[in-house]
Copies of this chain bind each other. A is one copy, B any other.
Amino acid sequence: MKTTHKKNLIAAALVSALAFTATIAQAQDPLSSWNDGPTKQAIVAFVEKVTKDGSPDFVPTEQRIATFDNDGTLWCEQPMYFQLFFAVDRVKALAPQHPEWKTKEPFASLLKGDLKGALAGGERAMLEIIVATHAGMTTAEFEQIVKDWIATAKHPKFKRSYTECVYQPMVELLAYLRANGFKTFIVSGGGIEFMRPWTEKVYGIPPEQVVGSSIKTKYEWRDGKPVLMRLPEMNFIDDKTGKPVGINSHIGRRPIAAFGNSDGDQQMLEWTQAGSGARLMMLVHHDDATREFAYGAESKIGTFSDALMAEAKKNGWTVISMKDDWKTIFAFEQ
């Protein structure tokens, strides 16, 4: 009995030592929220070959540009784009100053909580909502409105702030790339000024590395101070063929790695791949209805069409399965 007891103690000590070592190993793995498998391996292999001095695929630091879509790639985009939740909340907040909205579409439907009805007016309705909620104030005022909203609003399903609904594996990927000399950029169809107030804190991506859609602004003087007024006019739509245009305009060189999740990202991945040398193109596939959402070709938001899946196969782009490749999706799960 005594010997067995001793053996058990030793075994327990060994197990606990091993567990401790495993914990350290996990903590040291910069991609610990990724399951081991071909996707994670593809990321690590790419980073190792472009950073290894003397490798035929070596890329100088200043050319290590990686671009990321935001909605559905870095943070959740269901049940609708978070910026649309913002717009709806703004319409509600501004309604007392606009009694005419009670009978005027798309606002009347929106105020009744009928988003589908509000968006029935198509692009024109969407533009009217943007103009009413995103224009007519200074850039500084808009920044404060976004900051206040993002600090308090909650996701309807997860009951967490929107900035908690970011994908932990992608946050790790951003940090891992930066630790390897990459400059990380957001290239999103979302509003550039809607993202900038919080991307540095949440993703470690500073305002000057955020590319997005924008409305026009105008320099003028107000109360003895210069301001930039946000005008009711679109300036640039950073989606589909607009993404390579936005990349060229803001970054001025071609990414060597690009990450997206929808038909809106196809051209960014094509543009990235068309450069010479080693490249990495990946698409996040939302196939986890239990932990997040499952959607694809049938979705109206973040559509991953069958045509895109065929492009991915043809071009050798990696499709990230959220279900299989991600150990953790949100940090709040842990």
Residues of chain A at the chain B interface (Cβ within 8 Å): 62, 65, 139, 183, 192-193, 196, 200, 206-210, 214, 217-220, 225-226, 228, 235, 241-242, 244-245, 248-253, 267, 270-271, 274
Contact across chains for B219 and A252 when beta carbons are under 8 A apart: no
Contact across chains for B196 and A252 when beta carbons are under 8 A apart: yes
**Contacts A192-B252, A228-B248, A252-B208; A271 near B219 (Cβ below 8 A):** yes
The answer for the CA separation of A250 and B214 in the assembled complex, in Å, is 11
Contact across chains for A214 and B245 when beta carbons are under 8 A apart: no
The answer for the CA separation of A236 and B226 in the assembled complex, in Å, is 20
The answer for the CA separation of A200 and B248 in the assembled complex, in Å, is 16
Per assembly, the copies of the chain total 2
The answer for the CA separation of A250 and B206 in the assembled complex, in Å, is 11
Contact across chains for B274 and A226 when beta carbons are under 8 A apart: yes
- Given known contacts A208-B250, A217-B245, what 4 new A-B pairs fall within 8 Å (CB)? A208-B251, A208-B252, A219-B271, A228-B248
Q: Residue of B at shortest CB range from A244?
A: B219
Contact across chains for A214 and B139 when beta carbons are under 8 A apart: no
Identify which of B65, B183, B192, B207 contacts A253 (C-beta below 8 A): B207
Residues on B with beta carbons closer than 8 Å to the beta carbon of A244: 219, 226, 228
Give the Cβ gap from A56 to chain B, nearest Cβ, in Å. 22
**Contacts A200-B62, A208-B183; A217 near B267 (Cβ below 8 A):** no
Contact across chains for A207 and B252 when beta carbons are under 8 A apart: yes
Residues on B with beta carbons closer than 8 Å to the beta carbon of A225: 274
Q: Residue of B at shortest CB range from A240?
A: B219
Identify which of B62, B207, B220, B228 contacts A251 (C-beta below 8 A): B207
Q: Residue of B at shortest CB range from A251?
A: B208
